Chains A and B, each alone.
Chain A
Amino acid sequence: DTEVTQTPKHLVMGMTNKKSLKCEQHMGHRAMYWYKQKAKKPPELMFVYSYEKLSINESVPSRFSPECPNSSLLNLHLHALQPEDSALYLCASSQDNRGVYQPQHFGDGTRLSIL
């Protein structure tokens, strides 16, 4: 079982809906990540939070809005998504890698389908 928990596992939404993806970790990690993964492709980085502050935004469209309420939780708020946004959304966490060599640990993702 993964130590990074993501909910929901599956989500189907219309293009006008607003929904949120949630991620939780209790490993004491201070860096958390959102990735998008299309079928048969590697994960693509979207956002990085370090010590609850947004440190990297990989030019992600504003219809994706991340939030880090505390060091254990990471949310991704979705609004007015497009069909091409259908993908597996992965959350990961790590000790803040700027100072140590530690791997990122991934959750099992939320499978998102946009109708």
Chain B
Amino acid sequence: GESVGLHLPTLSVQEGDNSIINCAYSNSASDYFIWYKQESGKGPQFIIDIRSNMDKRQGQRVTVLLNKTVKHLSLQIAATQPGDSAVYFCALQTYGNNRLAFGKGNQVVVIP
């Protein structure tokens, strides 16, 4: 099966600082990458995605970086806010396959 992992289990960040969450993957056939945010008591919420033909994509306060050479994905959150406290999952997919491979998850705690 796929091996998808995150480097840091918990990230504590001061409000207003930037956050970086990392994700390493092993399946080089993966060509679609997604970040989800899961708040307590809720389902995973789509944040941003990126295809393998790109190395960077920006959204509102979030940026996803993809390095296919070293099979590494990261999510950057600018000016972290208390509402960003959640568990963040990276997820991978391969074209033609409905299966998502989730990473283990990374807890982000924002300190006011």
A residues within 8 A CB of B46?
103-106
CB proximity to B under 8 Å, residues A71-115: 90, 92, 94, 96-99, 101, 103-109
| CB contact list, B89-112 vs A, under 8 A | 89, 93, 95-100, 102-105
B43 (CB) vs chain A CBs: closest residue: A106
Q: Give the residues from 1 to 43 in chain A that come closer than 8 angstroms, CB to CB, to chain B.
A: 2, 4, 6, 31, 33, 40-43
> Is the C-beta of A70 less than 8 angstroms from some C-beta in chain B?
no
Tell me which of B44, B96, B105 has the highest count of chain A C-beta atoms within 10 A of its own C-beta. B44
Total contacting residues, chain B, CB less than 8 A: 24
**Contact in complex: A56, B44 (CB < 8 Å):** no
A4 to B45, CA, bound (A): 11
A-B residue pair count with CB separations less than 8 angstroms: 61
A56 contacts B98, C-beta separation under 8 Å: yes
Across the interface, name the chain A residue whose C-beta is closest to B41: A108
- Most A-side CB within 10 Å, residue of B43, B103, B104, B105: B43
Contact B97 A98 (CB under 8 A): yes
A45 within 8 A of B: yes
Interface positions of B (Cβ within 8 A of A)? 32, 34, 36, 41-46, 49, 51, 87, 89, 93, 95-100, 102-105
> Which A residues contact B (CB, under 8 angstroms)?
2, 4, 6, 31, 33, 40-43, 45, 48, 50, 55-56, 90, 92, 94, 96-99, 101, 103-109
